[in-house]
Amino acid sequence: MNPDPAPVRDTGGAPAGRVSASGAPSAGVSDAGRTLAWKERPVPSVDFNRAPYTVIWEVTRACDLCCIHCRASAQKARDSGELTLAEGYRLLDSIAEFGSPVFVITGGDPMKRADLEDIIGYAARDKGLRTSLTPSATPLVTRDRLASIKAAGIARIALSLDGPRAAVHDAFRGERGCFDRTIEIIRHMQDLEIPLQINTTVAKPNVADLVEIARRVEGFGAVQWSVFFLVPMGRGKREDMISAAQHERIFHWLCDLKHKVSFDIKVTAAQHFRRVAIQRERRAGRAMRTDERGCYLEVSGAGFQYTDGIQRPTQGVNDGKGLVFISHVGDVYPSGFLPIRAGNVRGQSVVDIYRNSFIFHELRDPNKLRGKCGVCEYRVVCGGNRARAWAMTGDALAEEPMCVYVPPLQRAGAPSIPDGELIS
Ligand code: SF4
Ligand code: SF4
């Protein structure tokens, strides 16, 4: 990429037609006659040992696309072992016991399930969960289906955009026409006033296009750009990952960019972005706001609410620490990218698994981290991406392979760091 921190207000990359050039997010979710209680709630202050900030349910692994980096190695046909709607309702009852986590319905392609609106309605209206959806850009996403999903109570829909042009995006997604369909879906969402999130996976094939993708995100009027850094699992290949130095350069570019754009920027599978953000603030001599626990609000992005009511966590989320993933057959994992099975919701509550399983306990304890992450003063707020560590070393507690930082205590050869000096 060219990490040029130039502003992206110019919408030269925006598609023609009714796509917004203002960059202003559109109006919030219509309540369709019933109150969506989560819209009134403040930012939840969550003890990650008791409850996650985000719960992700992969309602199916079926998908008609064939992306080169697909975590799920998705196939076209649905699995007969998927959780049924009745089992899904019981799962949602359990998820609501956590309090009010952000609830993400993902796949595969969730649009493959005919009962999707029942799931959304039960989650958003009956259980009061802030519910978002990640459909695949296929002909299944019609205007009518989007309207039906909105009426069911969805708060936000996230679409993938891995290239600013059809050639790049379609090559990523494994299907010609996927880019044009994505633009068409965005237009439908604008008509229907459904808040839009854009997800981009950063890898070698598109790293040079990030500036242009950011312009597109601005032009769409998206509320959030979720920038995901490739984890080599599923169909994602190690050789497609960018280097540790490129990660670092992109983090700095994103730190500059966030002051120049209308959308929020969220980084996924790159916890060391928080270390970069803190280092920059310290070098600039700026004091960062903290919450009552001393956690850096600016780094984790809390303290405000978007038009669609979905807020940002006040602490650093990591796999199994503020995050839990339930697979299409009910298996529970620390994240969708860390395939260490901790239990199954058919025989156990997801609450019990999250709070008490061995692997979740291990992942939540920064003192268990190994290598340079284990002696790093940023290990509480960062801790490195656990899924990438697992994918590249076979050890979920190993050091983050894509971080350039060398902690002072590693340089000094010291074995440990006192808790009081940790940055949280
Ligand atoms: S759209 Fe998502 S689920 Fe479908 S193949 Fe691509 S990454 Fe996998
Ligand atoms: S060494 Fe590990 S804990 Fe420290 S900043 Fe890098 S990834 Fe984060």
Number of domains in the chain: 2
Instruction: Please check whether residues 398 and 351 belong to one and the same domain.
Output: no
Yes or no: say if 375 and 414 are a contact pair by the CB < 8 Å rule: yes
Summarised one tens digit per residue, pLDDT across range 328-353 is: 999 999 999 999 999 999 999 999 99
Which ligand number lies closest to the CA of residue 60? 1
Instruction: Please check whether residues 269 and 327 belong to one and the same domain.
Output: yes
d(CA 413, CA 372): 10
What is the phi-psi region of residue 161: left when phi exceeds 0, alpha when psi lies from -120 to 50, beta otherwise? beta
d(CA 74, CA 60): 9
Name residue 193's amino acid: E
Yes or no: say if 297 and 288 are a contact pair by the CB < 8 Å rule: yes
Instruction: Please check whether residues 416 and 349 belong to one and the same domain.
Output: no
In terms of residue numbers, what domain contains 66?
34-357
d(CA 234, CA 226): 20
Instruction: Please check whether residues 320 and 373 belong to one and the same domain.
Output: no
DSSP designation for 44: P
325's enclosing H/E stretch is strand 323-326
DSSP designation for 394: S
Instruction: Please check whether residues 325 and 408 belong to one and the same domain.
Output: no
Q: Is the CB of 378 under 6 A from ligand 2?
A: yes
d(CA 45, CA 48): 9
Q: Which residue from 229, 278, 363, 372 has its CB within 8 A of the most atoms of ligand 2, so it is best to mutate?
A: 372
d(CA 229, CA 250): 10
Q: Is the CB of 379 under 6 A from ligand 2?
A: yes
Q: Is the CB of 250 under 6 A from ligand 1?
A: no
Which ligand number lies closest to the CA of residue 181? 1
Place of tokens 């697909």: 70
In a domain, 281, yes or no: yes
Instruction: Please check whether residues 408 and 263 belong to one and the same domain.
Output: no
Which ligand number lies closest to the CA of residue 399? 2
In a domain, 5, yes or no: no
Instruction: Please check whether residues 128 and 60 belong to one and the same domain.
Output: yes
Which ligand number lies closest to the CA of residue 228? 1
d(CA 228, CA 106): 15
R_g of the chain computed on alpha carbons: 20
d(CA 19, CA 253): 26
Last residue of a domain, one of 305, 335, 357: 357
Q: Is the CB of 66 under 6 A from ligand 1?
A: yes
Name residue 170's amino acid: D
How many angstroms separate the Cα of 288 from the Cα of each of 43, 192, 253?
Answer: 18, 38, 19
Nearest to 185 by CA among 121, 226, 225, 133: 133
What CATH number is attached to the domain comprising 65? 3.20.20.70
Instruction: Please check whether residues 166 and 220 belong to one and the same domain.
Output: yes
In a domain, 400, yes or no: yes
Instruction: Please check whether residues 241 and 385 belong to one and the same domain.
Output: no
Yes or no: say if 335 and 329 are a contact pair by the CB < 8 Å rule: no
Summarised one tens digit per residue, pLDDT across range 142-154 is: 999 999 999 999 9
* DSSP string computed for 107-150: SS-GGG-TTHHHHHHIIIIIS--EEEE---SSTT--HHHHHHHH
Last residue of a domain, one of 327, 357, 387: 357
Q: Which two tokens stand for residue 360?
A: 């979740």
In a domain, 8, yes or no: no
CA 374 / ligand 2 centre spacing (Å): 8
CA 401 / ligand 2 centre spacing (Å): 9
Yes or no: say if 358 and 384 are a contact pair by the CB < 8 Å rule: no
156's enclosing H/E stretch is strand 156-160
Per-residue confidence (pLDDT) for residue 408, from 0 to 100 = 87
In a domain, 102, yes or no: yes
In a domain, 191, yes or no: yes
In a domain, 273, yes or no: yes
- 3-state DSSP assignment of residue 316: coil
Instruction: Please check whether residues 81 and 174 belong to one and the same domain.
Output: yes
Per-residue confidence (pLDDT) for residue 68, from 0 to 100 = 85
CA 381 / ligand 2 centre spacing (Å): 9
Q: Which residue from 58, 69, 70 has its CB within 8 A of the most atoms of ligand 1, so it is best to mutate?
A: 70
Please identify every stretch of the chain with a pLDDT value under 50, giving residue numbers as ranges: 2-35, 38, 40, 42-43, 299-311, 417-420
- 3-state DSSP assignment of residue 385: coil
Main-chain phi, psi angles of 90, to 5 degrees: -65, -40
In a domain, 3, yes or no: no
Q: Is the CB of 373 under 6 A from ligand 2?
A: yes
Instruction: Please check whether residues 350 and 370 belong to one and the same domain.
Output: no
Summarised one tens digit per residue, pLDDT across range 277-299 is: 888 888 887 666 565 555 555 54
Instruction: Please check whether residues 288 and 404 belong to one and the same domain.
Output: no
Q: Is the peptide bond preceding residue 108 cis, with omega within 30 degrees of 0?
A: yes
pTM over 0.75: yes
Burial zone of 266 (CB within 10 Å; 0-12 exposed, 13-18 middle, 19+ buried): middle
Last residue of a domain, one of 328, 357, 386: 357
Q: Which residue from 56, 58, 65, 185 has its CB within 8 A of the most atoms of ligand 1, so it is best to mutate?
A: 65
Cα 10 → chain centroid:
26
